[in-house]
């Protein structure tokens, strides 16, 4: 979920000038963490450095989508380590608490989004109440499976990707079983259109 949050935010922010975003982030941290002038300058430099690195990763056409996400994850950890060299223990804890709170809010929004998604499917595909209920159950079950997969630190990256692919296929098949042939074809078309709009 954390990775999803990061990739979603980054995708939305790629249209914003990286240095402008770095300046805004620094000002926000100065206010939230009570940075002194020395810390402010150091954090500003770190934010600017990694804003440039993030932009370079997203513009690197030689990297796959997964490769970009892996690189972003590494940069996120590097940036966190750099922050920790500048911040006091108390500030680090405050920042960690703030990020944890942001993640909870995001997870709550995502849960509402998935609930809304079943309602949207009901409206867009003219699902019956029974179909909608089944879709909600499928969404909930696969949400739990994906969360368990993301939290499994013992699994190798390739195995995790393979398992995620299997889960997506299973999800698609279970959803297909609930829909009529016409509804399924319309659902596939809508998914394809949304994907094209994102890229």
Helices 157-178 and 181-198: crossing angle in degrees, nearest 10, is: 140
Residues 59 and 136 in one domain: no
Residues 7 and 79 in one domain: yes
Tokens 């989004």, residue? 113
Does residue 100 lie in a domain region? no
What tens-digit pLDDT sequence spans the chain (199 residues)?
444 444 444 444 445 688 888 999 999 999 999 999 999 999 999 999 999 998 899 888 888 877 888 899 899 999 999 999 999 999 999 999 988 888 887 777 766 665 577 888 888 889 899 998 898 889 888 888 888 888 777 878 788 888 889 999 999 999 999 999 999 999 888 878 876 665 4
- Domain end: 55, 87, 119, which one? 87
Residues 32 and 81 in one domain: yes
Give dist(CA 79, CA 65) in Å, integer.
Answer: 21
Residues 79 and 143 in one domain: no
Give dist(CA 106, CA 2) in Å, integer.
Answer: 9
Does residue 112 lie in a domain region? no
Distance between alpha carbon 77 and the CA centroid of its chain, in Å?
16
Does residue 194 lie in a domain region? yes
Domain count, the chain: 2
Does residue 99 lie in a domain region? no
Domain encompassing residue 66: 2-87
Does residue 123 lie in a domain region? no
Residues 8 and 83 in one domain: yes
pTM for this model (two decimals)? 0.52
Does residue 72 lie in a domain region? yes
Residues 64 and 140 in one domain: no
Contacts of 26 (CB under 8 A, 6+ apart): 40, 43, 44, 47
Give dist(CA 47, CA 52) in Å, integer.
Answer: 9
Does residue 15 lie in a domain region? yes
Residues 9 and 82 in one domain: yes
Does residue 82 lie in a domain region? yes
């Amino acid at each position: 979920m954390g990775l999803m949050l990061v990739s979603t935010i980054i995708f939305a922010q790629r249209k914003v000038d990286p240095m402008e975003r770095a300046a805004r982030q620094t000002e926000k941290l100065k206010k939230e963490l009570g940075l002194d002038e020395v810390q402010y300058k150091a954090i500003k430099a770190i934010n600017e450095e990694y804003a440039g690195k993030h932009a370079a990763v997203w513009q690197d056409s030689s990297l796959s989508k997964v490769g970009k996400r892996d690189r972003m994850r590494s940069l996120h950890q590097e940036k966190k380590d750099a922050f920790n060299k500048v911040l006091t223990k108390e500030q680090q804890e405050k920042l960690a608490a703030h990020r944890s709170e942001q993640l909870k809010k995001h997870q709550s929004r995502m849960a509402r989004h998935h609930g809304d998604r079943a309602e949207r499917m009901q409206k867009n595909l003219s699902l019956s109440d029974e179909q909608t209920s089944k879709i909600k159950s499928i969404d909930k079950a696969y949400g739990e499976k994906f969360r368990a997969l993301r939290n499994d630190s013992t699994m190798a990256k390739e195995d995790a990707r393979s398992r995620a692919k299997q889960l997506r296929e299973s999800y698609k098949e279970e959803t297909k079983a609930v829909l009529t042939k016409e509804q399924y074809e319309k659902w596939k078309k809508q998914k394809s259109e949304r994907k094209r709009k994102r890229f």
